[in-house]
Chains A and B, each alone.
Chain A
């Protein structure tokens, strides 16, 4: 595991000057791109595979493997950068765009070269007005210096860069909704298959990657896949950004090795729970991911440990009945790296209700179980939070959540159902206490 002083994507945080291309180059920037352009495409993909870099947007899928899904016969493809950051508790991509735009452009260019992309599109969340203007300026600088456009740095490789703004819709972070939105449509997720790598943006083979994912690519191109893998733990290469918010002394963005313990992050790096209070629980990967109790927080934050550690009690669909996902008990997941910490005074019913209102608001409405189910969950948990729960409400939440899970076009349905089930699995008595018994 890496020394905790090692930084990759946050190394220029706090350095105002590094936003300009001149300073970025002076610090060694765009050397990785030069090296990549002189390397065989297949060799780059092999290094990224070896690095065991996994997607930082939420699903944790192997980046190198994803790149190989572009059909061999495809003459060209598109690379889409997902900068729609909207998962509650997550605030890294906004900072990355503003602090180190050229690292993202460089990483995206290496990826685009590897997959023969003719265009890179970035989808920037609409609210990020300031970040959009910083990033758009960086793209202009990169064009002016010949890093973008026709025959980049005198090579055979040409690539255009299009900066696109969203307009306010969490669902557009989901990759197929994002593609529809980029095409100028409502952000409705598409049925898969076909997967974007085969038929994506404007019908072309398309790879969608998260901002943080791509910003690790120049380091891999420079130092090699093995070196990156060695920074983390097996199958989970490198460092990852944890966005810590809620009841900690020092909330913020922490770039730490993959195997670090969640409890250590809270107690050591973030200065512990605020005001000397006790830890009650934490959400490890954005609001879509099942919550952990204080006792369960002493686990490594890598994708596999959070999914499989026996220290984490499996989520139940009803008392005593373990809920399975992907052939194994659902525990939790690393998701987007958004860590929300709760102290002992937290009203978990109020937190759960707020999360349910979020999903009800953001459901795109295409699937009945999601549209109706999230609305029900929001209404029932909110009345419980207000102390007006009715007899049977706890069981009703459970059955509504079960009807959503696995029955929808996109994972937003699960993203509402899983936390609901997890809150009930871990904090059921608190919910039961909100039921108003006969007056």
Chain B
């Protein structure tokens, strides 16, 4: 079924487009908006962005698949993104990743886990981003506690 942006989202998109010299420049903001509206960036969401901006679906698809933040598949309630890059690795990033994966294997609807690259929080390693929020100075115990808390909240 074709997806349609809400009236508010359409309004926001028009304001965004007006700030740039070309409609194409609004592709990234529009995809962010689509992800917020529709939960993830499906092929239908891509069609909706393309028709809203007057661009080809092929262009929007190319952009949507280039950037890691656009989820092409649905994610759980909490998208747990564990940094395992060097500074975090030195402080147990991979142990944290295993903890997160274990939690997700028990509750796949609640948690989706991704291993991510440096989150620019290396001085407070390990860094774990859950949805939009950074959780710094994580270790196995603190991450287990955090995921336990989120799991109960659901």
Contact across chains for B117 and A361 when beta carbons are under 8 A apart? yes
Check B69 for interface membership: any CB of A closer than 8 A.
yes
Residue of A nearest to B137 (CB): A251
* Residues from chain A with Cβ under 8 Å of B120 in the complex: 85-86, 90-91, 93-94, 125, 127-128
What per-residue 1/0 map shows which CB atoms of A117-137 lie under 8 Å from chain B?
A: 000000001111110000000
Pick the contact of A287 from B67, B86, B124 — CB < 8 Å?
A: B86
Contact A167 B70, beta carbon cutoff 8 Å: yes
B31 at the interface (CB under 8 A from A): yes
Knowing A186-B66, A245-B122, the reply to whether A89 touches B87 (Cβ < 8 A) is yes
Name the CB-closest residue of A to B69. Answer: A168
A327 to chain B, nearest CB (A): 30
Chain A 348-382 per-residue mask, 1 if CB under 8 angstroms from chain B, else 0? 00110011001001100000000000000000000
Residues of B within 8 A of A182 (CB): 25
Within 8 A of A (CB), among B81-123: 84-87, 89-90, 117-123
Query: Is A88's CB under 8 angstroms from B28's CB?
Result: no
- Judge whether A253 and B29 touch: CB under 8 Å: no
B152 within 8 A of A: no
Residues of B within 8 A of A165 (CB): 28-29, 32
A169 at the B interface (CB under 8 A): yes
B 56-88 contacts with A by CB, 8 A: 59, 62-63, 66-70, 84-87
Residue numbers in B under 8 Å from A162 (CB-CB): 19-20
A6 within 8 A of B: no
Chain A's nearest CB lies how many Å from the CB of B68? 4
Tell me the A93-148 residues at the B interface (CB within 8 Å).
93-94, 125-130
Interface residues on A, range: 35 or more
B27 within 8 Å of A (CB atoms): yes
Instruction: Please tell me if B141 contacts chain A, counting CB pairs below 8 Å.
Output: no
Alpha-carbon separation in the docked complex, A165 to B70 (Å): 13
Please state if B28 and A181 are interface contacts (CB–CB under 8 Å): yes
**A297 → chain B closest CB, angstroms:** 17
Q: Is B13 an interface residue (CB 8 A)?
A: no
B141 to chain A, nearest CB (A): 19
- Least CB distance from B148 to A in Å reads 24
**Residues in chain A near residue B121, CB distance under 8 A:** 91, 94
B123 touches A358 (CB 8 A): no
Q: Kindly list chain B residues whose C-beta atoms are within 8 Å of the C-beta of A354.
A: 84-86, 89
Do the beta carbons of B118 and A362 come within 8 Å of each other? no
Interface membership of A233, Cβ < 8 A: no
Report chain A residues within 8 Å CB of B21: 202
Any B CB within 8 A of the CB of A187: yes
Point out the residue from B24, B68, B84, B134 that lies within 8 Å of A183, measured CB to CB. B24
Q: Which of B31, B62, B87 is in CB contact (< 8 Å) with A186?
A: B62
Complex alpha-carbon distance, A243 and B118, angstroms: 13
Residue A185 at the chain B interface, CB threshold 8 Å: yes
CA distance A305 to B63 in the complex (A): 41
Q: Does A246 contact B (CB under 8 A)?
A: yes
The winner among A86, A90, A252, A354 for most chain B CB atoms within 10 A is A354
Set B22, B85, B86, B132: member contacting A129, Cβ < 8 A: B132
15 A-B pairs in the complex with CB atoms less than 8 angstroms apart: A85-B120, A86-B118, A90-B122, A91-B122, A127-B119, A167-B67, A167-B68, A167-B69, A168-B70, A184-B25, A184-B28, A187-B66, A251-B125, A351-B89, A358-B85
Please give me the 6 A-B residue pairs with the lowest Cβ-Cβ distance, nearest first: A184-B27, A168-B68, A167-B67, A168-B69, A245-B122, A184-B24
- Residues of A whose CB lies within 8 Å of any CB of B are 85-91, 93-94, 125-130, 160, 162, 164-170, 181-187, 202, 243-247, 251-253, 283, 287, 338, 340, 342, 346, 350-351, 354-355, 358, 361-362
Q: List 8 additional A-B contacts (Cβ < 8 Å) besides A164-B29, A184-B28, A251-B123.
A: A88-B86, A91-B121, A168-B70, A169-B67, A184-B25, A184-B26, A245-B125, A354-B84
